[in-house]
Amino acid sequence: MTQIADSTAQLSADVYLDSAASAPVRRAVLEAMWPHLSGEHANPSSRHEPGMTAGRALEHARTRVAHCLGGRPGEVIFTSGGTEADNAAIKGIALASPRGRHVLISALEHPAVSESAAWLGRLGYEMEVLPVDADGRVDPAELRHRLREDTTLVSVQAASNEVGTVQDITALAAITAEAGAPFHTDAVQAAGTEALDVRRLGVQALTLAGHKLGTPKGVGVLWLRRRTPFEPLIHGGGQQRGRRSGTEDVAGAVGMATALELARDDDVAALRARRDAFITAVEHSVPGARLLGHRNRRLAGHAAFVLPGRSGEAVLLDLEREGVYCSSGSACAAGSDEPSPALMAMGIPSELAQTAVRFTFGTEVSEADLLRAAEALSRSAGPR
């Protein structure tokens, strides 16, 4: 596979710290996908031998993903990414549910969830937003208070893409189950570093995006617990048990399975240690820098700050000039002049929210890379 270069090696001259937007593609993932992008290219629904070979590869990938999630192969639906998976979960479960028309989502949800819930609102559903505390966590008691007999769905992100806070999904899902309502979690950011055993979590639906794990962009997963009422959004040839029609991306499915398996071998403890050292370095070298999100219950490769008195966008430009690439928050909101709704929900004033800078990284990023980023941030956002 000499024609496939290791993408992480290409980043050695620069420091890429925007994995929450899209992680570097793993060489082993590309190598696993390559046969299904070249010689084994048949449609997996075709009944000739090449088609059946593709079909077997697809179903094997489905089994591997199910094993990584602690579910059954028949519960795994491959999608075009996290956005489609979230749309399918929110709309598909709500439209099929006989309970009522009350939808609860957290204030930190990705637009793929919040906009899907808003779309349901235009159909007559009532969307209610669960508040979060200053660390970005949902209070289980607050969820219990807001659940109703007509609650048709609860959706809480497993981990925030903007501030890195990790939710107690097991506790929240248990409370929702007591009320008899289905629970969905967007686990796009949590996958790879947080345990995602769907049986232990107690959720009815969970969504993933491959490009946060090291696959090329364009593949995702909706895990849907067996017997959960669901209305498909994409109709056609009846693939994937009729829940998501369309010819499946066999290479993408194989890449997703490979990426999930590789992530199980990552040294997450070492990644957390590098994250904590980076946070300490920034707090010591940048006066006034304030860490966003929960200090301990946070993603292993996530550190976001607000920098009082500085422009977040100006700091990003300074860092880019030094070869350090990060972001001001969600890539899906890039270009917006409005302060982040997630930060506002955490009680951060509008002016301060616009100073936010986010650093996200995987195990390919070294301690030296992070030290370089902290030093660059100190030069940009430190004393003038």
- Residues with a known catalytic role: 332
H or E segment to which residue 300 belongs: none
Q: Give the separation between CA 243 and CA 237, rounded to whole angstroms.
A: 10
**CA Rg, the chain, in Å?**
21
Find, among 200, 194, 153, 136, the residue nearest to 174 by Cα.
200
Locate all alpha helices (DSSP H) within the chain, ordered by sequence. 27-37, 49-69, 82-96, 111-121, 140-146, 169-178, 198-201, 250-263, 268-285, 312-321, 341-345, 350-353, 367-381
Instruction: Return d(Cα 19, Cα 336) in angstroms, integer.
Output: 20
Q: How many angstroms separate the Cα of 220 from the Cα of each of 4, 230, 334, 353?
A: 22, 18, 22, 30
